[in-house]
C-alpha cells in the first residue's frame, strides 16, 4: 500500500468507524460521518453543518481567544465569565468592582466597552490551499522551508484581507500536511452587557476548577457593534448593534442523561498525533517543570499584591489565567500517568513502524521520521531556558510592551510582506490596543518581584543555556540583578499610556536615543531575542518539512485498522458530538450528570471561594424555580456533564441538542480528563457545561434582566 494516499480520501473512507464520543471534527468532515451523527441522535442534516454560512455554524464565533455564540438578532454574544473576565476586570477599579459585584446594563447606552484588543471573530470561509502554500517550499530545508511557507502564507492572508473588516489566517492541518485559508469577520467594538458576580461565575474558584460536581454560573453576555454602515468599526458611541446572519435559540425543554449533545467551538491545540518521544518528554520533564514555574509565579504575584488593593485588581485576570494553566498542567500530568500514556503511545508507535516497514516507500518515510526526531532531540537541550525567556516576555506588562515597541520599529523598516508575523500593518491596531491597556494591569512592585524570581532562575541555568545579552542587561548574581531592576523601573516612564503610544510611532533612530530605561533594556535584549527566534524558525522549518512523513504513515496505518484520523485541534472551528453522560471515575464513585442549587448551599461557607451571594441563597431558599426546574429532581439544575470531546479554547462553546437548540455552555473539563489534549481516554473524558436552565433562572429570579430574556425570546420565568 502506498503512503501517498490523500488525506481527505483517507478520512472519508474510514470515518464511519470512529467512536461517537471521540473527535474534534472539521465541519467539512461531518457529511462523511452522517450515519454516525444520526445514530447518535442528531435530527438535522449533516451536510448543513459543513456549511459555515448556514445555521448553526454561522452563529458560532471566536471570542477573546476562546468561543461563544450569537443568541439574538441584535449581536448579543454568550460566552464564559472566565473568557470575558479580562473585559470585566478592564472596567473595574477601586470603588467599582465589577468582578465582585457583577454588572447588568440597564439598556444599550449602559453597555461598557471591552478592552481595545478584545475581538469577536465570525468565520465566513474555510478553503483548502495546500498546493499554493507548499509550492515554493519544494526542495528546501530548515529556515528556507520555513520562509517559503511563511511567505506564501503572508501573501494569501494579504490578498484575503483586502476586503475591509476581514481577518484571515492560514491553518496548518496534520502538522504541515494540509493548509486551509480561514476568513473571519473581525468585530472590534465589543461591550459588556451582563456579568454575574464572581461568586456565581467562578463559584468554587480554583478549589473546584476541573472538578465535578460543579456549581458555577460561568457565563457572560456581550454585544458586538458595528458602524452605521454595518461594517466593523472601532468603538464609537454612534455604533449600532451587529446583526448576525443567524443566532442560536436557547432551549426551554428539559434534558436528561442519554440525550444527544453536540458542541461547536474553537479548541486551542491538541497533541494526540505527536511522536512517542514527545509524549515521554511531556510527562517526564515539560509538565513537571511548568507546574513548578507557574506555582512560583502565582505565589510571587499574590504575595506582592496582597496588601495593595489596586495591584490585586490589576493582576486579577493574569492570576486567574496562571492558576488555570497551573491546575491544567497538574491535571494533565496526573491524567497522562493514570492512563499510562507514554507506554500506550510507545507501543502504538512501535506497531505502526512494524506495519510501515512492510509498505512501499518505507525507507524514505523512516528517514524523514528519524530526521524529525533529531530536531526534537536538539530542542530538549535548551527547554528550561526557552521556557523562562518565554514567560519573561509573556507575563510582564511594561517589559513586554517595551520589547513589542522595539520589535515593531525594527519590523517597520521592511516591506510589509517581509515583516515578522504579528508585526505587519494588519497588526498595528491590535498592538496599539494592548499598549493602551497595559497600565490597568500593571504595578511596578509586582513586575519587579516577578522578574526577580524568573531571572534568578535564569541565572541558575548551566552556562551552556545562558545568553550573553541577558547576562549583560541583568547581571549574573542576585545583587547585580536587584541593582539593575531597581534602576530599570526607577528610570522608566513607560507606565504612562501616552509615552507607550508615542514610542509605537517612533522610528528606530528615535528609540535608540531614548533615555527611558525600559526601552533601552528592550533594545539591548533585541539581538538575543531575534537570534533565538531565528534558531526556532530553522527548527520549525525542518519539522514542518519532516512531520508530514510521520502523519502520512500514521493515517495510512489507522486506515489499515479501519480507524479515522481527525486533525489535532488548532483554534479552527470544530464539532464534537456525544451524549449527556454520567461517569464512574473510580471504584465506588458515580458522577450523576446534573448538579442542582442544593449543591451551592452545601458548599457555601461564607468565605471565598464558596461565598454564595445573599440574593442567590435567598432565591434558592424561596424555591421559586418556575419553568426552569428539572421535574425529575424537583429543583433547579446548575451544571451538566457530557462525553463531548473538548480541550482549551472550547470555553464558551455552545452545546446543542438534537434539534440544534442551545442547552448548555461549555466551560471546563473534569480533572480526570485534562490530559485529553494529548490522549483521549473514553473512560474519563467528560466536559462540563452551564445548564441553560440555570442561566434563565438567574436572569429571571436572582439578578433579573427581563429585557435580555425578551431579547433572547425566552419566557420571563
Active site residues: 82, 218, 651
CA-based nearest residue to 452, from 322, 290, 286, 299: 299
Helical ranges in 438-579 per DSSP H = 444-459, 468-474, 478-490, 497-505, 508-512, 517-560
Angle ∠(160,164,165) on CA atoms, nearest 5: 95
CA distance 380 to 365: 23
CA-based nearest residue to 579, from 669, 658, 646: 658
Crossing angle of helices 398-411 and 444-459, in 10° steps, is 80
Quickly tell me which residue has 424561596 as its cell. Answer: 622
CA distance 610 to 360: 61
Quickly tell me which residue has 484520523 as its cell. Answer: 565
CA distance 620 to 605: 16
Going by the DSSP 8-state scheme, the letter that residue 96 receives in this structure is B
CA-based nearest residue to 183, from 167, 206, 204: 167
Q: Do the beta carbons of residue 712 and residue 71 sit within 8 Å?
A: yes
CA-based nearest residue to 602, from 220, 327, 257, 208: 208
- Which helix H or strand E contains 241, and what residues bound it? strand 240-241
Q: Other C-beta atoms within 10 Å of 289: how many? A: 15
Query: Could you check whether the bond before residue 516 is cis, i.e. omega within 30 degrees of 0?
Result: no
Q: Do the beta carbons of residue 168 and residue 160 sit within 8 Å?
A: yes
Q: Other C-beta atoms within 10 Å of 110: how many? A: 12
Sign of dihedral through CA atoms 408, 411, 414, 418?
Answer: negative
CA distance 91 to 89: 5
Crossing angle of helices 398-411 and 428-437, in 10° steps, is 160
**Non-local CB neighbours of 110 within 8 Å, separated by 6+ positions:** none
Q: How far is CA 560 from CA 356, 359, 554, in A?
A: 11, 12, 10
**Non-local CB neighbours of 501 within 8 Å, separated by 6+ positions:** 432, 435, 436
CA distance 516 to 496: 12
Cell numbers linked to 534: 531565528
Angle ∠(43,687,37) on CA atoms, nearest 5: 20
With 0-12 / 13-18 / 19 or more C-beta atoms within 10 angstroms meaning exposed / middle / buried, residue 9 is: exposed
Going by the DSSP 8-state scheme, the letter that residue 308 receives in this structure is -
Cell numbers linked to 397: 506588562
CA-based nearest residue to 67, from 644, 712, 678: 644
What three-state secondary structure class fits 604? coil
In SS3 terms, 15-39 reads as HHHCCCCCCCECHHHHHHHHHHHHH
With 0-12 / 13-18 / 19 or more C-beta atoms within 10 angstroms meaning exposed / middle / buried, residue 587 is: exposed
Over its C-alpha atoms, the chain yields an Rg (Å, rounded) of 25
CA distance 430 to 433: 5
CA distance 172 to 178: 6
Sign of dihedral through CA atoms 401, 403, 409, 415?
Answer: negative
Amino acid at each position: 500500500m502506498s503512503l501517498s494516499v490523500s488525506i481527505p480520501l483517507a478520512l472519508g473512507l474510514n470515518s464511519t468507524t470512529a467512536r461517537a464520543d471521540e473527535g474534534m471534527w472539521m465541519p467539512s468532515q461531518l457529511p462523511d460521518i452522517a450515519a454516525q451523527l444520526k445514530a447518535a441522535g442528531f435530527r438535522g442534516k449533516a451536510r448543513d453543518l459543513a456549511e459555515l454560512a448556514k445555521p448553526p455554524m454561522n452563529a458560532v464565533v471566536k471570542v477573546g481567544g476562546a468561543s461563544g455564540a450569537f443568541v439574538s438578532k441584535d449581536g448579543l454574544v454568550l460566552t464564559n465569565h472566565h473568557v470575558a473576565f479580562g473585559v470585566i476586570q478592564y472596567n473595574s477599579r477601586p470603588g467599582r468592582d465589577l468582578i465582585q459585584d457583577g454588572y447588568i446594563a440597564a439598556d444599550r447606552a449602559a453597555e461598557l466597552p471591552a478592552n481595545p484588543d478584545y475581538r469577536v471573530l465570525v468565520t465566513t470561509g474555510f478553503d483548502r490551499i495546500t498546493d499554493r502554500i507548499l509550492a515554493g517550499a519544494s526542495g528546501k530545508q530548515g529556515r528556507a522551508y520555513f520562509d517559503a511557507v511563511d511567505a506564501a502564507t503572508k501573501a494569501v492572508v494579504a490578498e484575503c484581507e483586502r476586503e475591509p473588516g476581514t481577518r484571515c489566517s492560514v491553518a496548518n492541518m496534520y502538522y504541515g500536511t494540509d493548509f486551509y485559508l480561514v476568513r473571519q469577520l473581525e468585530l472590534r467594538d465589543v461591550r459588556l452587557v451582563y456579568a454575574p458576580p464572581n461568586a456565581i461565575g467562578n463559584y468554587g474558584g480554583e478549589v473546584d476548577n476541573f472538578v465535578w460536581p460543579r456549581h458555577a454560573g460561568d457565563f457572560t453576555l456581550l454585544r458586538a457593534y458595528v458602524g452605521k454602515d454595518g461594517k466593523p468599526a472601532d468603538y464609537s458611541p454612534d455604533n449600532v448593534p451587529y446583526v448576525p446572519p443567524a443566532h442560536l435559540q436557547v432551549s426551554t425543554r428539559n434534558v436528561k442523561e442519554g440525550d444527544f449533545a453536540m458542541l461547536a467551538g474553537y479548541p486551542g491545540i491538541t497533541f494526540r498525533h505527536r511522536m512517542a518521544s514527545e509524549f515521554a518528554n511531556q510527562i517526564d520533564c515539560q509538565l513537571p517543570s511548568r507546574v513548578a514555574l507557574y506555582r512560583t509565579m502565582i505565589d510571587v504575584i499574590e504575595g506582592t499584591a496582597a496588601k495593595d488593593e489596586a495591584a490585586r485588581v490589576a493582576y486579577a485576570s493574569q492570576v486567574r489565567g496562571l492558576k488555570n494553566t497551573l491546575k491544567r498542567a497538574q491535571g494533565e500530568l496526573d491524567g497522562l500517568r493514570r492512563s499510562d500514556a507514554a507506554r500506550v503511545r510507545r507501543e502504538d508507535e512501535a506497531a505502526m513502524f512494524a506495519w510501515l516497514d512492510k509498505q512501499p516507500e518505507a525507507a524514505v518515510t523512516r528517514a524523514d521520521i528519524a530526521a524529525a526526531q533529531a530536531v526534537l532531540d536538539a530542542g530538549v537541550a535548551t527547554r528550561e531556558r526557552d521556557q523562562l525567556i518565554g514567560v519573561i516576555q509573556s507575563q510582564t506588562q511594561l517589559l513586554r510592551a517595551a520589547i513589542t515597541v522595539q520589535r515593531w520599529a525594527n519590523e517597520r523598516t521592511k516591506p510589509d510582506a517581509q515583516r515578522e508575523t504579528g508585526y505587519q500593518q494588519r497588526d498595528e491596531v491590535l498592538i496599539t490596543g494592548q499598549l493602551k491597556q497595559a497600565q490597568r494591569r500593571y504595578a511596578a512592585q509586582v513586575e519587579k518581584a516577578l522578574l526577580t524570581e524568573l531571572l534568578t532562575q535564569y541565572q541558575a541555568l548551566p552556562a551552556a543555556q545562558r545568553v550573553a545579552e541577558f547576562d549583560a542587561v541583568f547581571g549574573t548574581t542576585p545583587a547585580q540583578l536587584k541593582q539593575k531592576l531597581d534602576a530599570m523601573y526607577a528610570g522608566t516612564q513607560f507606565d504612562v499610556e501616552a509615552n507607550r503610544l508615542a514610542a509605537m510611532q517612533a522610528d528606530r533612530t528615535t528609540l535608540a536615543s531614548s533615555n527611558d530605561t525600559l526601552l533601552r533594556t528592550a533594545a539591548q535584549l533585541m539581538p538575543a531575542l531575534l537570534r533565538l527566534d531565528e534558531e526556532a524558525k530553522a527548527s520549525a522549518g525542518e519539522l514542518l518539512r519532516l512531520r508530514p512523513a510521520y502523519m502520512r504513515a500514521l493515517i495510512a496505518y489507522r486506515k489499515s485498522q479501519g480507524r479515522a484520523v481527525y486533525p489535532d485541534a488548532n483554534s479552527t472551528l470544530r464539532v464534537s458530538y456525544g451524549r449527556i453522560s454520567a461517569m464512574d471515575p473510580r471504584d465506588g464513585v458515580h458522577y450523576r450528570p446534573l448538579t442542582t442549587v442544593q449543591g451551592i448551599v452545601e458548599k457555601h461557607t461564607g468565605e471565598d471561594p464558596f461565598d454564595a451571594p445573599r440574593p442567590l441563597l435567598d432565591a434558592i431558599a424561596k424555591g421559586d424555580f418556575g419553568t426552569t426546574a428539572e421535574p425529575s429532581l424537583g429543583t433547579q439544575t446548575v451544571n451538566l456533564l457530557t462525553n463531548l470531546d473538548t480541550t482549551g479554547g472550547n470555553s464558551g462553546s455552545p452545546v446543542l441538542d438534537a434539534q440544534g437548540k442551545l442547552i448548555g455552555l461549555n466551560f471546563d473539563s473534569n480533572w480526570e480528563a485534562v490530559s485529553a489534549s494529548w490522549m483521549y481516554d473514553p473512560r474519563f473524558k467528560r466536559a462540563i457545561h452551564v445548564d441553560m436552565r440555570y442561566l434563565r433562572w438567574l436572569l429571571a429570579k436572582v439578578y433579573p434582566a427581563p429585557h435580555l430574556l425578551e431579547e433572547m425570546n425566552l419566557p420571563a420565568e
